[in-house]
């Protein structure tokens, strides 16, 4: 009985697996880059939100406050600062002991 046909099918399956593996790694890298960019965009928007609120209220933002806000990558912390920026009398007051 000639089984050479099965060898051909096995080779085709192996080829497809190699292609799928490469596509999977490309897709994974693409998604990782996309999500990283998405997160960076959210952080940048949250950072700008804090600073824009303070600016719109006419509150001066010292360099050390601006640096701390722009170097923070914690979205929850930026969100808290944004809420506080609406009511605080000085830019330094957006920070609390829990932010240390």
Establish if 61 belongs to a structural domain: yes
CB-based contacts of 94, cutoff 8 Å, min separation 6: 50, 54, 65, 69, 81, 84, 85, 88
Query: Which pLDDT belongs to residue 3?
Result: 47
Overall domain count for the chain: 1
Residue 8 pLDDT: 52
CB neighbour list of residue 43: distance below 8 Å, 6 or more residues apart: 72, 73, 75, 78
Residue 33 reports pLDDT greater than 60: yes
By mean pLDDT, which of 4-18, 41-55, 86-100 is the weakest? 4-18
**Residue 2 falls within a domain, yes or no?**
no
Query: How far apart (Å, rounded) are the C-alpha atoms in residues 98 and 100?
Result: 6
pLDDT at 1 over 50: no
Tokens 């932010």, located at residue: 99
- Is the pLDDT confidence value at 77 over 50? yes
Mean pLDDT of 58-81: 96
Q: Is residue 5 part of a domain?
A: no
């Amino acid at each position: 009985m000639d089984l050479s046909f099965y060898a051909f099918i096995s080779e085709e399956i192996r080829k497809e697996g190699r292609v799928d593996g490469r596509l999977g790694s490309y897709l994974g890298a693409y998604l990782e880059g996309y999500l990283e960019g998405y997160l960076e965009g959210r952080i940048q928007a949250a950072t700008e939100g804090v600073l824009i609120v303070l600016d719109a209220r006419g509150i001066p933002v010292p360099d050390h406050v601006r640096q701390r806000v722009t170097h923070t990558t914690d979205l929850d912390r930026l969100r808290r600062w944004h809420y506080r920026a609406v009511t605080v009398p000085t830019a330094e007051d957006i920070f609390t002991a829990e932010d240390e």
